[in-house]
Structure 1
Amino acid sequence: MAVTPADGALSPVTALALVGVVGVGAQWLAWKLRLPGIVLMLAAGVMIGPVLGWFDPARDIGPLTQPLIALAVAVILFEGGLTLNLRSLSDAALGVRRLVFVGAPLGWLLSTLALRYGAGLSWESAAVFGGIMIVTGPTVIAPLLRQARLARRPAALLQWEAIVNDPIGALAAVLAFEVVLVLNTATTVGSAAGELALGVTVATVTGVAAGYGLARAFRHGQVPEHMKVPVLFVLLVGIFALSDSVLHESGLLAVTIMGLVIANAELPSYEELRRFKEHATILLVSGVFILLAASLDFSALGLLDWRAAIFVAAVVLVARPLTVLAALIGSGIPFREQLLVALTGPRGVVLVAVAGLFGERLVQLGVADAALIGPLAFVLVAATVVLHGFTLGPFAKALGLTAAGTPGVLIVGGSRWTTQLAEALTKAEVPVLIADANRGHLRRAREAGIATFFGDVLSEAAEHRIDFVGYATVIAATDNDAYNTLVATDLAPELGRENVFQVTREKSEHTRHALPPTLGGRAFADGATYREMELRVWQGWQFRLTGLTEEFTLEDWRAKRPEAVLVAILSKSGVLRPVGPEERVEAPPGSRLLALRPEDPAERGAQPPAKRRPAKGGNCRLIEPGGRGTMSTR
């Protein structure tokens, strides 16, 4: 039975439920308030832990705390490795190699010096902790990149560096610890080196073997579809435990390599696996941050003095910038991108977890000042998370390295009416890109100066060349209903189902043609089909923007334009919100209405409109004074 906080300890079930509610709730609140999620999770964990005393992991969960954190970190690193598709490196490949092969050793050296002369630690503690400080924290980088909406290359540099260097940092700490162990015990250098080599070898071999074996089993149908995720998860935990039993922390390397192998195996089920791991990672990041923050001991922080501030400043302003700038010399990466990466180095879960572990082990070996490693790690994480959480977006924007300030619209399908829609959005200063696999369909858009992409929007080429971060809304509007449904279904998990729209399918109201709600996107433009939109444009209808004021409201506009088809609403900040046929429309003063409506004779000098009549068989014949032409709307 659960015990209330006022009576003492919580039951383990209640404690875990509290961790989940507070962690996910903090992320949701951060999204709602447009604040860094990591900052709110850190604050929430400290609040329910050492401040209010509601939750104490050591008291309420007990010995399960550290294993839970270790497994969560393993899953997080595996998910990170699962995103490391080698083909996605493109022009950031050289920079990533430099940050790993040059930046990691240099960062270890400079971090060690910052700890020795800034924090005043002994060489033993500084060398071990300095190795751990190589990591920049994928658990922190991912939410920050999502919030700051960085340009593709600096985002790729930060993401790859964080994921690849995480296990390297843990192994660097293991190496330094083995050296300290040799100096403080009777252990020989040879045995310590042999143990380290064995652990790295086992981690590499097991990671490659597990990744290759799983990919082969999935590809040859040896695992049923409904069991792929459970099999993946069990294998992941088993590989981590096996490698970790040989050399502590080598399991992090094993699961990262396993994820990397699977990411590059071109599995048909890759997207489903990756999305599941992303969802699991969000839950685990929330939980781990709450656990670590709630475990904070204010008395341990009391051991720190003014030198801790010197240490943090030295890491943020000296060690990190020098490491990155030296590693990227001659890489061809523009200096402003180098500067952004150099001044962005948040630390996260792995640093705190591994630092606390090795701090305790060094204290057991007789290194007294190793007791400061845990508190210093927490201070560094808190300082860098808060600093970069609030400054990364503005700093990147000042350097011109963010996606467009106004979220853009990706229109899939080039046609007369989508080009006119794109022109109207461009006039409203909303970034637009039209994608189509038929070059001829993009001719009007190119002539109008609209940005275009020639190719399949679901292809690998599109993933490399289209900066999807800059587009918050997708409108699937080709003349192929099946392809529109495929595009909307594929992109919905990435962009959010509420942001993916498609033209209404022909005969969609018939039962035999109806699709389940899990397929396709939301309808817009009053539920019009592709043919209806194209026909209206050929009949002279136009996309027009109308501003609303206190005197001219949405109701006044509807009364004046009853025949108009409301397509979208633009907020005061320029954010576009397409309107569905059954959606309740709210447009406050200052908003702008984007609608498709018949041409007003007064707007063309009171010239009478041309006679137009639709033809049978799906064609419409446009009859103009002095000439005529035919266009198929199929």
Structure 2
Amino acid sequence: MDTSFEITMLMVITIISGIGAQVLADYLKVPAIVFLLVFGILVGNDILGLVHPNLLGDGLEVIVSLSVALILFEGGLSLELRALGAVSGSIRNLVTVGTLITLVGGGMAAHWLGEFPWPIAFLYASLVVVTGPTVVGPLLKQVSVDRPVAAILEGEGVLIDPIGAILAVLVLNVVLSGSADPVELFRELITRLGIGATIGVVGGALMGWSLKQAKFMSEDLTSLVVLAALWGLYDAAELVSSESGLMTAVVAGLVVRSVGVPEMRQLRRFKGQLTMLCVSVLFILLAADLSLESIVALGWGSVLTVLALMFIVRPINVLICTLSSKLNWRQKFFIAWIGPRGIVSASVSSLFAILLTQRGMNGGDSIKALVFLTIIMTVVTQGLTAKYVAQLLRVTSSTATGAVIVGSNPISRLIGQMFQERNESVVIIDTDPEACEQAKDEGLRVYQSSALDTNVLEEAGLESMGTFLAMTSNGEVNLVLAQRAAEEFQPPRVLAIFPQEPQKKTANSNAKDKVQQAFIPEFPLKLWSQYVQDREVKLGETLLRQPGLEFQRSHLQAMIRSGEFLPLLLLRQDQLMVVPVAETWQAGDRIIYLLHDPKPKLLKRLSGSQQTDLTLDKHPVVEEVPIPSPHLETISAKESSN
């Protein structure tokens, strides 16, 4: 058979297998790397024999190098610099001290438990110091955790990859030469990282400046120019100092993001799609060349080595590196649990196996097999259990508290006071000086600024808040603000007051699914604000019970349609949330609401008095609300048996 045809078939089967694995993983909501490994082994030499990576020769190394550079650039481009700043100390420790701890601990485990010679044991440890954005990123998309926890895992995954790759190359040189000088090793590591970072900073800044100046280029062409520039920078760094190109890719991504090039969303989307393709191809190719017999031949000692790496070395690493952080023990435990190995470990170990074999040294295949065993065990164990561990430890982002509310009006201030009464942080943002003063007078924290300014949102602490609520008088502006907050800061609950029509116009927005319509459809904010100012409302709380739940739902929905009932907040499992339009109320929920009651205004007019005690007939299943309000009288009726 013609070689060119064989290579064509190899690439076609590889791409189909990789994308098929991604689709299946997305459908089943599990990390894609699980199926990529399975599909790669399935089409590889040991089973179906459809994919033979050795046909690519030196081309495999080229594909691996350029793909990993793109993956790390996309990782740097996706990092939230604001979030990294809050946990920078922990990330710094993990990629420096943590690297040393994993190197020493992993080497000891591989030697004592896996019975590898010391040089090979430390070579293995150098290959598994990395985690990687290709496995951590998809995992965090499926398991929404506290923003500081996510920032640490994402930052570690991106920044430690080039450090680990350079360290592995230096350890390999030591193994091949047979002599080791720790001082020289450290000097070489710092030198290559420094060269890579310098080229990345200069190249990323030039790239960002050029894109800002070249306004004539289309969005599609801009993305391709960035891709070409990235690979050019990577190659330049490799020419200056081998293995420094990966650091260049990461730093260039960080710089381009910080510069803020035009159409950043389009650029990130394009790079994300390319990264998914690269990951799919690489894992299929590398897993296809893996010998199952070599993994089985490792024995139980290697399994114990990986278990020690997961449950002894990683926890010690995280404990020491986060010792001075503000993280609680649950957050630290989750970070210690999550340390899956990914594409950098797989690709570098595959190249090392080839180099060791070419030099006539034993251990290359065993190193590759042990690294892939590490990848399989960490990804399967941690990837499939991360969601349940996060829920058990209560570190999911859905449990975050506090609110940032855009728009200072009587209802938004009332909601802010309710959150504040539960000792939750509340920030009001508005451009109107008079409205801001009213919020300050009511004891609320206020920023007189535009919510379009991400620096203001950052200063308000949105990255750690549980709720973002946009409720200005302009519905379309509210929707834009909410979508931007969802994309930039990713709070667990993003709500806004907006009409249905603008939502249809923005149906292609990435953030549209994260924004919920607040309170009721077509909410008349001005009308209800006037009701509050005129003291024509009562504040109440109703408890939904299982007996008669459907009747309660129907009754309350009928009151909403009549325009006399406004659900504001939902108290569920001791968590206070703004009521979304599409929320299905459950038994045990407490609905805090406003009830339109025009009688006090009529009494005031008849009596000529300035203040009148307001009364309201009992409403089924009503309780007193222990939340003071400067505007409202609280319903005092006790809960009825109905």
- Of the three residues 571, 588, 601, the one matched with 1:610 is 601
Aligned to 1:626: 609
Residue 359 in structure 1 maps to residue 356 in structure 2? no
Other-structure match for 1:118: 113
Query: Partner residue of 2:22?
Result: 23
Instruction: Show the 5 A alignment for 1:198-237.
Output: 203-221=196-214, 224=217, 226=219, 227-237=221-231
Q: Secondary structure at the match of 1:134?
A: coil
Give the secondary structure class of the aligned counterpart of 1:475. Answer: strand
On the 8 A contact 1:84/1:260 being kept in 2, the answer is yes
1:67-98 Cα offsets, whole Å, 9 max, x none, are: 54443322221122224566543342333333
Q: Distance in 2 between matches of 1:27 and 1:321?
A: 30
Shift of 1:119: 1.6
Higher mean displacement: 370-379 or 73-82: 73-82
Work out the CA distance in 1 between the residues paired with 2:339 and 2:607.
64
Give 1:316 deviation, angstroms.
Answer: 1.9
Range that drifts further, 207-216 or 44-53: 44-53
Which structure 2 residue ranges, 5 or more long, are not aligned? 1-7, 613-630, 632-642
- Say if 2:79 and 2:254, in contact at 8 Å, map to a contact too: yes
The alignment status of 1:76 with 2:75, answered yes or no, reads: no
TM-score calculated relative to the size of structure 1: 0.75
How many angstroms does 1:172 deviate by? 0.7
Partner of 2:521 in structure 1?
Answer: 526
Deviations 1:242-272 (A, max 9, x none): 4446666433222112113223335455455
* Structure 1 position 150 matched with structure 2 position 145: yes
Q: 1:173 aligns with which of 165, 168, 186?
A: 168
Aligned to 1:128: 123
> Which amino acid in the other structure matches residue 627 of structure 1?
Q
Contact 2:83 2:463 in 1 (8 A): no
The answer as to whether partners of 2:397 and 2:492 remain within 8 angstroms in 1 is no
CA 1:177–1:497: 2 relative to 1, 3 Å: closer
One-letter amino acid of the structure 2 residue matched with residue 158 of structure 1? L
Secondary structure at the aligned position of 1:224 is classed as coil
> What are the Cα deviations for residues 110-147 of structure 1, in whole angstroms up to 9, with x where unaligned?
32222222222223322322222221222222233444
Distance 2:576 2:291 in 1: 44
Alignment-derived partner of residue 604 in structure 1? none
CA pair 262-406 structure 1, distance change in 2 beyond 3 A: closer
- Deviation sequence 1:552-602 (CA, Å, 0-9, x none): 34445545664146769979878979666xxxx79486486969664479x
Instruction: Quote the Cα distance in structure 2 between the aligned partners of 1:229 and 1:418.
Output: 42
Q: Which segment is superposed worse, 475-484 or 393-402?
A: 393-402
Contact 1:416/1:444 (8 A) holds in 2: no
Q: Give deviations 1:217-262, integer Å, cap 9, x for gaps.
A: 1233466352322211121133334444666643322211211322
Letter in 2 for 1:626: S
Instruction: Please give the secondary structure, in 2, of the residue aligned with 1:346.
Output: coil
d(CA) in 1 for partners of 2:285, 2:468: 38
Distance 1:76 1:571, change over 3 A: farther
Alpha-carbon separation, structure 1, partners of 2:164 and 2:364: 18
In 2, Cα distance between equivalents of 1:372 and 1:164: 27
- Partner in structure 2 of residue 3 of structure 1: none
1:262 maps to 256
What percent identity do the matched residue pairs reach? 25
Match of 2:619 in 1: none
Match of 1:373 in 2: 367
Summarize the Cα distance change of 1:141–1:448 in structure 2 as closer, same or farther, 3 Å threshold.
Answer: farther
Q: Say which is worse superposed, 69-78 or 461-470, in terms of deviation.
A: 461-470
Q: 1:340 to 1:12 in 2, by over 3 A?
A: closer
CA distance in 2 between counterparts of 1:67 and 1:377 reads 21
CA distance, structure 2, for counterparts of residue 430 and residue 276 of structure 1 = 43
Q: Indicate how the Cα distance of structure 1 residues 517 and 381 shifts in structure 2: closer, same or farther if over 3 A, else same.
A: closer
Q: Number of residue pairs matched?
A: 588
CA distances 1:437-477 after superposition (whole Å, capped 9, x unpaired): 46875788789898987865542253365354764x64321
Q: Is the 8 A contact 1:131 1:173 kept in 2?
A: yes
Q: Distance in 2 between matches of 1:208 and 1:560?
A: 60
* Aligned pairs (5 A) from 1:577-616: 587=584, 590=587, 598-599=595-596, 608-611=599-602
Contact in 2 for aligned 1:77/1:163 (Cα 8 Å): yes
Structure 2 contact 162–246 (Cα < 8 Å) conserved: yes
Q: In the alignment, does 2:129 pair up with 1:141?
A: no
1:144 aligns to what SS in structure 2? helix
The 1:78/1:586 distance shift into structure 2, 3 A limit, reads closer
Query: Is the Cα–Cα contact under 8 Å of residues 141 and 159 in structure 1 kept in the other structure?
Result: yes
Deviations 1:186-238 (A, max 9, x none): xxx9x999999996676445423321211221233466352322211121133
Contact 1:151 1:401 in 2 (8 A): yes
| Residues 400-409 or 446-455, more deviating | 446-455
Flag structure 1 segments of 5+ consecutive residues without an equivalent.
1-8, 31-35, 602-607, 613-620
Worse-matched range after superposition: 524-533 or 329-338: 329-338
Alpha carbons of structure 1 residues 408 and 377: separation in structure 2 relative to 1, 3 Å = farther
Aligned partner of 2:544 in structure 1 is 547
Deviations 1:141-166 (A, max 9, x none): 22334444433434333322222111
